Amino acid sequence: MSTMAEKSPRDDARDILRSHLAGRGMRRTVQREAIIDAAFRTKDHFSAEDLLLMARAIEPSVSRATVYRTLPLLVESGLLRQLDLGGDTTIYDPNFLDHPTHNHLVCVDCRKIIEFEDPHIELLENCITRRLGFSPTNKSVKIEARCDEFQRSGVCSKQSSARGA
C-alpha cells in the first residue's frame, strides 16, 4: 500500500515553490522546475555547482546564473537550508522539509557529514534563547569530531549523509 498515490518530498517542494512564486508575481519556468527537481531528487547536500550539474541533466539549458538566482528563492521559501560548515563553498541541505530540527556532525578525518536529531538540544536552545530575551528563528549545531573507528583502524564505515558514499 504505497505504490500509487504517495506524495514525495519533491512534490511538496514543487507545490511550496509554486505558491511562493505565485504570491509575488513571479513566473514558472522550465529552468526553475528543473532546478527544484534536481535539488529534491537526492537526499545529499550539494553546492551550487553540484546543483547546476544535476539540473542540467534534467534540462540542459539551465545556466549557472539561474542556479545562483534560484537558490535564495528556495531558501526563503523554506525548502532548502543553507549550511555554514566552514568549507570554501556554501552547501545546501534538502532534508529540512522532512526533519526540520536536525543538526550536523562533521568528521575531521573522513570529512563526512552526519545528520542527527535530538529533542533535548532543541528544547535547551529554545530555553536559552528566551532567557536572553529573544525569540528563536533558526538554530544550528555543528559538531566537529574524530571518527573513533578511523582512529583505530584507519577506515571509516559510516555512511556519509552528504555524498552518498
Query: Which residues of the shown chain bind its own copies in the complex (CB under 8 A)?
Result: 82, 84-86, 105, 107-108, 114, 116, 118, 120-121, 124-125, 128-129, 132-149, 151, 158
Q: What are phi and psi of 47, to 5 degrees?
A: -95, 170
Q: Which of 140, 90, 97 is nearest to 116 (CA)?
A: 140
Q: Which of its own copies, DNA, none does 158 bind, CB closer than 5 to 8 A by kind?
A: its own copies
Determine if 66 is a binding residue for DNA (CB under 7 A).
yes
User: Least distance in Å: CB of 61 to DNA?
Assistant: 4
Determine if 65 is a binding residue for DNA (CB under 7 A).
yes
Question: Side chain identity at 132, as an amino acid letter?
Answer: L
User: Least distance in Å: CB of 103 to its own copies?
Assistant: 9
Are 29 and 39 contacting, i.e. CB atoms less than 8 angstroms apart? no
Q: Which of DNA, its own copies, none does 62 bind, CB closer than 5 to 8 A by kind?
A: DNA
Question: In angstroms, rounded to a whole number, what is the distance separating the alpha carbons of residues 155 and 42?
Answer: 26
Question: In angstroms, rounded to a whole number, what is the distance separating the alpha carbons of residues 112 and 107?
Answer: 5
Binding DNA (rule: CB under 7 A), the pick from 27, 120, 131, 152 is 27
